[in-house]
């Protein structure tokens, strides 16, 4: 289950394989991320997620850019990804 007080869209496919969530910003405004934090429950095999769990962004809801992909460091509990460089 995905949840956050700011989420405006979430979807779980009928197959239960792909899960989406999203956040929209006002027209002509830009969202700036400096850190993504996500909680993972029971992980039986981290390689199920490593290389597959992707965080993406779009300006038009049709063209998507991968912001980052979870790697083998994914673990149960809180996981973080931080952008250190402003251009990122």
DSSP 16-73: S--EEEE----TT-----SEEEEEE---S-GGGTTTT-EEEE-SSSSS-EEEEE--TT
Write out pLDDT tens, residues 23-54: 777 888 877 788 888 888 888 888 888 998 88
Taken in order 62, 1, 33, 43, is the CA torsion positive or negative? negative
Number of neighbours of residue 63 by Cβ within 10 angstroms: 9
Q: Is the pTM of this model over 0.85?
A: no
Number of neighbours of residue 83 by Cβ within 10 angstroms: 14
């Amino acid at each position: 289950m995905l949840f956050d007080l700011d989420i405006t869209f979430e979807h779980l496919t009928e197959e239960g394989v792909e899960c989406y969530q999203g956040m929209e910003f006002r027209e002509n405004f830009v969202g700036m991320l400096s850190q993504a934090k996500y909680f993972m429950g029971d992980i039986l095999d981290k390689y199920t997620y490593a290389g597959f769990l992707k965080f993406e962004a779009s300006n038009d809801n049709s063209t998507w850019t991968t912001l980052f992909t979870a790697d083998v460091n994914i673990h149960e509990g809180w996981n973080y990804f931080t952008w250190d460089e402003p251009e990122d």
